[in-house]
Amino acid sequence: MRFFRRLIREKPLGAASGAVVLVLIVVSIFATQLAPYDINDVNAKNRLQGPSAEHLLGTDHVGRDFFTRVLLGARLSLFVGLSATAINVLVALLVGGVSGYLGGKLDLMMQRFVDAWMAFPGLLLLLTIMSIVGRGLPQVIIVLGVSGGIVGSRVVRGAVIGVKENVYFQAAEAIGTRTGSTLLRHVIPNIAPILVIIFSINIGGVIISEASLSFLGFGLPIEIPSWGGLLSREGRRYMEQAPHLALWPGLCLTVTVYSMNTFGDAVRDLLDPRLRGGAGTNYGGFRSRRRGAGAPVGR
């Protein structure tokens, strides 16, 4: 509660973005109830119409109500964003935690793998993996989740190593606390803010990645009207006759990702002022921009 009061007082823009995110979530939960038409209501007489009173955002190439399709796109983007980002955090915690906590040779080897993974330009990696597992909702979520999680594990690993330097950790080791309870009592509570930050910073990028994949035809299947998919098919094929088909999905994407990022930045600033002005969307997730400084990983 105190956190939210601080958020409103210190970061009004962040709080406003948080409100937009909340509205988006509510709208996506009730998308089917809010939609004025059925998603597959085909009406060939009304194809490619511009916005009107009956069809707020016009109709697509087979006369389906475009507002309905964009609305359901919101549900998809958010669902993919939230669930894939949750997987990001879990994978980052698991990989980064094991690597940082156990250290030694295992850490060195795991970090080389993470290096290789990060060297791979995000979108190429995602495209390659998606072509292996095939299009589909679960596939997109798992692929985006795991791949961003491996990237995010770098940050978790750093945080875990940081915790290990602390006296309370060494004291816990010295009195012979079992590994499980050390992790639960000392490590995880201390890196929890990092996990929240990874979540809030990654989600925008994850949504854009899904849209990019679907746009290129490697993400969600055609039956699912995701924003990226809408842009690539209807949006591109009929863009001269019906520019609204390309305008709205992208605008919605931008507003969604903008609010997610602004909200995420505000959360990060409040939780950890040291990380101010950090990462952005990077097709694949959180990347600490504080690298450089000559600190080679795996020391």
Partner 1 sequence: MRAYIIRRLLLIIPTLLILSALVFLSVRFIPGDVIDALESRMDYLAEPLDRAALERVLGLDKPVHVQYLLWLRGIFLQGTLGKSLLGKDTVEAKIWTRVGPTFQLGVMSLLIGLVIALPVGVYSAIRQDTAADYAGRTIAVLGLATPNFWLAIMVIIYPALWWNWAPPILMVRFLDDPWESLGVFLIPSIILGTAMSAGTMRFTRTMMLEVLRQDYVRTAWAKGLRERLVIVRHAIKNAMIPVVSAIGLALPLLVGGSVIIENIFNLPGMGQLMLVALSDRDYPIVSGVNLFFGCGVVLINLLIDLIYVYLDPRIRYQ
Of 124, 138, 168, 114, the closest CA to residue 288 belongs to 114
Nearer to partner 1, 164 or 290 (CB): 290
DSSP for residue 43: -
**Residue 6 found at the interface with partner 1 (CB under 8 A):** no
Q: Which stretch binds partner 1 (CB under 8 A): 84-92, 112-120, 159-167, 189-197?
A: 112-120
Sole window of 26-34, 75-83, 153-161, 270-278 interacting with partner 1 (rule: CB under 8 A): 270-278
Tokens of 81: 């964003």
Record the tokens describing residue 80, joined without a space: 């993919």
Q: Does 234 bind partner 1 (CB under 8 A)?
A: no
**Among 122, 219, 225, 285, which residue sits at the site for partner 1 (rule: CB under 8 A)?**
122
3-state SS, residue 59:
strand
Structure token pair of residue 40: 């597959």
Can you tell me the distance from the alpha carbon of 60 to that of 82, in angstroms, rounded to the nearest whole number? 28
Distances (CA, A) of 234 to 25, 35, 39, 188, 218: 25, 19, 15, 46, 16
Candidates 76, 208, 224, 267; binder of partner 1 (CB under 8 A) is 208
Q: Does 115 engage in binding with partner 1 (CB under 8 A)?
A: yes
The site that binds partner 1 (CB under 8 A) totals a number of residues, namely: 65
Minimum CB–partner distance for residue 41 and partner 1 (Å)? 26
Give the type of residue at 255: V
Write down the least CB distance from residue 42 to partner 1, Å.
Answer: 25
- The 3-class secondary structure across 164-184, one letter per residue, is HCCHHHHHHHHCCCCHHHHHH
Binding of residue 240 to partner 1 (CB under 8 A): yes
CB proximity list for 222: less than 8 A, separation 6 or greater = 229, 233
Query: Pick from 66, 101, 169, 218: which binds partner 1 (CB under 8 A)?
Result: 218
Stretch that binds partner 1, among 56-64, 93-101, 184-192, 245-253 (CB under 8 A): 245-253
* Planar angle of CA 92, 94, 96, nearest 5 degrees: 60
Which pair of tokens denotes residue 138? Answer: 């679960």
Q: Select from 204, 219, 229, 285 the one that contacts partner 1 (CB under 8 A).
A: 204
For residues 136 and 134, give the distance between their C-alpha atoms in angstroms, rounded to a whole number: 7
Locate 289 and state its tokens.
């921009």
262 part of the interface to partner 1, by CB under 8 A: yes
- Which of 134, 176, 180, 273 contacts partner 1 by CB under 8 A? 134
> Could you tell me which stretch among 35-43, 54-62, 79-87, 237-245 binds partner 1 (CB under 8 A)?
237-245
Q: Indicate whether 12 belongs to the interface with partner 1 (CB under 8 A).
A: no
Q: Is 16 in the site for partner 1 (CB under 8 A)?
A: no
**How many whole angstroms from its chain centre is CA 233?**
23
Residues that bind partner 1 (CB under 8 A): 109, 112-113, 115-125, 127-129, 131-132, 134, 204, 208, 211-212, 215-216, 218, 228, 231-232, 235-236, 239-240, 243, 246-247, 249-250, 253-258, 261-262, 265, 276-284, 287, 289, 291-294, 296, 298
